[in-house]
């Protein structure tokens, strides 16, 4: 019986496709390649190895961009630029953001050129959740915009400030108002959601870059938390105890406690 079933499967390899889920409305395809080895059908590791090698340049270029982006804003780097640039340091944040955006363009273009197979699509029954996630992402960005000082974030405030008053004062006061009383990092949360909903079709290249960017964002959150604890001490530790870093579990739990 087993041998008869194996004869149905192609002797070299077969593609197992699972698509048109939810009554054929979801265009989602998962492809698994198999080879025959000593009477058993096993995943084609050679093909998987080729796929890994194919995306190594994409992984490398994203890692380089993330390292450049992080290293330039590190405490050691900013201290160096403060001493080197002196009064002109007030332009640093503006130049940093400009460099980050300009350097991101070739990275995105290279990623777009690779794409690869579509591994998931927000179609059919998943279209409504996709729209809800888009609304949530936009709300998080908008509420974060209200909570943060965009002049300080972009660098325009520092660039237009008096040269003798170029100290970055955005960190002097710990703000917990608005959305910051629900989640400590609304823009990080919005970015983590956005990575998966930015396109209806999730290509293999997008999966690769999302993995790299998730690691980068979580490392960024951890480093930023350390910096804020150093800056604000026990005040920030109390804030950490009260408000969740990303998903507002503590805020939701407090709502249920109030109702109870």
The domain containing residue 49 runs over which residues? 1-53
Residue 244, SS3 per DSSP: strand
CA 81, 86, 91, 95: dihedral to nearest 10 degrees? -30
Locus of tokens 């509420």 = 143
How far apart CA 152 and CA 170 sit, in angstroms, is 6
**How sure is the predictor about 54, in pLDDT bands with cuts at 50, 70 and 90?**
confident
Do 238 and 140 share a domain, yes or no? yes
pLDDT of residue 76: 87
Provide the percentage of residues in the chain whose pLDDT is more than 90: 47
Locus of tokens 């995943």 = 43
* Residues 84/171, Cβ–Cβ less than 8 Å: no
Per-residue pLDDT at 88 exceeds 60: yes
Do 63 and 26 share a domain, yes or no? no
Do 161 and 189 share a domain, yes or no? yes
Q: What average pLDDT does this structure show over 16-39? A: 43
pLDDT of residue 163: 67
Do 5 and 43 share a domain, yes or no? yes
Domain boundary among 12, 30, 53: 53
**How sure is the predictor about 254, in pLDDT bands with cuts at 50, 70 and 90?**
confident
183: closest CA among 253, 255, 240, 256? Answer: 240
Do 157 and 77 share a domain, yes or no? yes
Give the CATH number of the domain where residue 94 resides: 1.20.120
Q: What is the total count of domains within the chain?
A: 2
How far apart CA 45 and CA 33 sit, in angstroms, is 9
**How sure is the predictor about 50, in pLDDT bands with cuts at 50, 70 and 90?**
low
Do 49 and 59 share a domain, yes or no? no
Per-residue pLDDT at 42 exceeds 70: no
Do 226 and 165 share a domain, yes or no? yes
pLDDT of residue 67: 92
Per-residue exposure over 13-52, b if at least 16 CB sit within 10 Å of its own CB, e if not: eeeeeeeebeeeebbbbeeebbbeeeeeeeebeeeeeeee
User: pLDDT: is 1 or 136 the higher one?
Assistant: 136
Domain boundary among 13, 38, 53: 53
pLDDT in tens, 141-170: 999 998 887 888 888 888 887 766 545 555
Could you tell me how far CA 4 lies from the centroid of its own chain?
48
């Amino acid at each position: 019986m087993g041998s008869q079933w194996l004869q149905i499967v192609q002797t070299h390899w077969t593609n197992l496709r699972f698509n048109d889920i939810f009554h054929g409305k979801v265009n989602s395809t998962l492809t698994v390649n198999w080879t025959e080895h000593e009477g058993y059908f096993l995943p084609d590791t050679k093909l998987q190895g080729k796929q890994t090698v194919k995306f190594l340049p994409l992984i490398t270029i994203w890692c380089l961009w993330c390292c450049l982006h992080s290293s330039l804003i590190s405490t050691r780097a900013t201290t160096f630029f403060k001493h080197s640039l002196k009064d002109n340091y007030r332009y640093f944040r503006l130049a940093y953001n400009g460099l980050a955006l300009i350097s991101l363009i070739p990275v995105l273009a290279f990623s777009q050129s690779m794409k690869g197979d579509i591994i998931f699509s927000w179609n059919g029954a998943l279209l409504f959740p996709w729209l809800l996630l888009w609304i949530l992402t936009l709300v998080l960005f908008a509420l974060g915009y209200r909570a943060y000082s965009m002049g300080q974030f972009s660098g325009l405030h520092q660039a237009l400030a008096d040269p003798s008053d170029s100290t970055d004062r955005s960190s002097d006061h710990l703000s917990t108002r608005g959305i910051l009383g629900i989640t400590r990092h609304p823009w990080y949360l919005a970015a983590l959601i956005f990575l998966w909903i930015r396109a209806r079709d999730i290509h293999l290249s997008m999966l690769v870059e999302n993995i790299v960017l998730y690691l980068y964002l979580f490392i960024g959150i951890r480093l930023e938390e350390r910096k804020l604890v150093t800056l604000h001490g026990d005040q920030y530790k109390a804030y950490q105890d009260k408000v969740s870093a990303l998903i507002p579990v503590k805020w939701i739990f407090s709502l249920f406690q109030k109702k109870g």
